[in-house]
């Protein structure tokens, strides 16, 4: 099993602050995905990154895939209460039989 | 387009009782997954189907858990008998599968199981 470590595990910030969460592994992934999960719902895919060094932006969210394709970061600018949720990274690809390995997630709380 | 449908959304049973969960994936998605998610944790794969074939069930506790996807569309996950430690959210996901992409998975809302 290819392990993904996410940090921090918990994060509580005020509206308007910036934050970065990290996803690290000793394994190389063909692709890495970020999901957000709200209470009582299933994870929802935010982005897929596939190329080392790739940067993708989704409104106030910026995702980066490490050059070696072993790690990734998610940066949120000017966080809003609607960003509250569990952020999960998941790595996969042909080497893992197209299955995904999920990290334990970063639980984010943004207060007004 | 309808997303992944799961039922029931919530289930409360006493230990040693059987329970079943149902999942209908997105139309055209060949790959179906069942995950277990404990509170504050990421999903853990239980079983993965490619069409009607279970291609990865290495993490499924086969003494009490079983799953089927007879016609390669919807699927049922069963626990018999349930134990206290089975209390969790059971998520179903689907994807196009194979070499058709980067395995982007779409999740249902999950079934929250409480075993008393």
Q: What is the pLDDT of residue A2?
A: 57
Which helix (H) or strand (E) is B10 found in, with range? strand B10-13
3-state secondary structure of A94: helix
Backbone angles phi, psi at A3, to 5 degrees: -90, 140
CA distance B54 to A58: 35
Give the confidence band of B69 by pLDDT, cuts at 50, 70, 90. very high
Distance of CA A33 to the CA centre of its chain: 7
CA distance B77 to A95: 27
Q: What is the pLDDT of residue A93?
A: 63
Determine, for residues B110 and A93 on separate chains, whether the beta-carbon distance falls below 8 Å. no
Beta bridge partners of A91: A32, A101
> Which of the 8 DSSP states describes residue B40?
T
**Which of B23, B101, B103 is the mutation pick for testing A, counting most A CBs within 10 A?**
B103
Question: Is pLDDT at A1 greater than 90 in this prediction?
Answer: no
For chain A, list the strands marked E by DSSP.
5-7, 10-14, 19-24, 31-37, 44-49, 55-58, 61-65, 71-76, 85-92, 100-102, 106-111
Give the whole-number percent of chain B exceeding pLDDT 70.
Answer: 94
Residue range A30-49, pLDDT digits in tens: 889 999 999 889 999 999 99
HSE, CB side, 13 Å, CA atoms: give it for residue A32.
33
**Which one of B93, B105, B109 has the shortest CB-CB distance to A41?**
B109
Q: What is the pLDDT of residue A34?
A: 95
**Which one of B33, B42, B109 has the shortest CB-CB distance to A104?**
B42
Determine, for residues A42 and B93 on separate chains, whether the beta-carbon distance falls below 8 Å. yes
Q: What is the pLDDT of residue B40?
A: 82
Question: Is pLDDT at B97 greater than 90 in this prediction?
Answer: no
Cβ contacts of B99 on chain A, cutoff 8 Å:
94, 98
Q: What is the pLDDT of residue A97?
A: 53
The residues in B 66-105 lying below 8 A from A, measured between CB atoms, are 91, 93, 95, 97-99, 102-105
Residue range B1-49, pLDDT digits in tens: 689 999 999 999 999 999 999 999 999 999 999 999 998 889 999 999 9
Q: What is the pLDDT of residue A52?
A: 93
Q: What is the pLDDT of residue A71?
A: 94
Residue B15's alpha-carbon distances to B18, B79, B81, B87, B94, in angstroms, are 8, 11, 7, 10, 30
Q: What is the pLDDT of residue B100?
A: 52
Determine, for residues A98 and B103 on separate chains, whether the beta-carbon distance falls below 8 Å. yes
> Which of the 8 DSSP states describes residue B84?
G
Identify the residue with better confidence: A56 or A29: A56
Q: CB contact, 8 Å: B40 with chain A? A: yes
Q: CB contact, 8 Å: B25 with chain A? A: no
């Amino acid at each position: 099993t290819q392990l993904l470590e996410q940090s921090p595990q918990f994060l509580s910030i005020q509206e308007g602050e910036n934050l970065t969460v990290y996803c690290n592994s000793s394994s190389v992934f063909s692709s890495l995905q970020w999901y957000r999960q709200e209470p009582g719902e299933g994870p929802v895919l935010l982005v897929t990154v596939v190329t080392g060094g790739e940067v993708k932006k989704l409104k106030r969210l910026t995702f980066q895939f490490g050059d070696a394709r072993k790690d990734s970061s998610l940066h949120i600018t000017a966080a809003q209460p609607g960003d509250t949720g569990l952020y999960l990274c998941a790595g996969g690809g042909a080497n893992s039989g197209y299955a995904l390995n999920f990290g334990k997630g970063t639980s984010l709380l943004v207060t007004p | 387009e309808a997303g992944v449908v799961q039922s029931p959304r919530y289930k409360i049973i006493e230990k040693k009782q059987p329970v079943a969960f149902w999942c209908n994936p997105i139309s055209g998605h060949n790959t179906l997954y069942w995950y277990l998610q404990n509170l504050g944790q990421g999903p853990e794969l239980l079983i993965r189907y490619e069409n009607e074939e279970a291609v990865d069930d290495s993490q499924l506790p086969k003494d009490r858990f079983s799953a089927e996807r007879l016609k390669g569309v919807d699927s049922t996950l069963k626990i018999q008998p349930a134990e206290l430690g089975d209390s969790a959210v059971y998520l179903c996901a689907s994807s196009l599968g194979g070499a058709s992409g980067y395995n982007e998975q779409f999740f249902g809302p999950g079934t929250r199981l409480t075993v008393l």
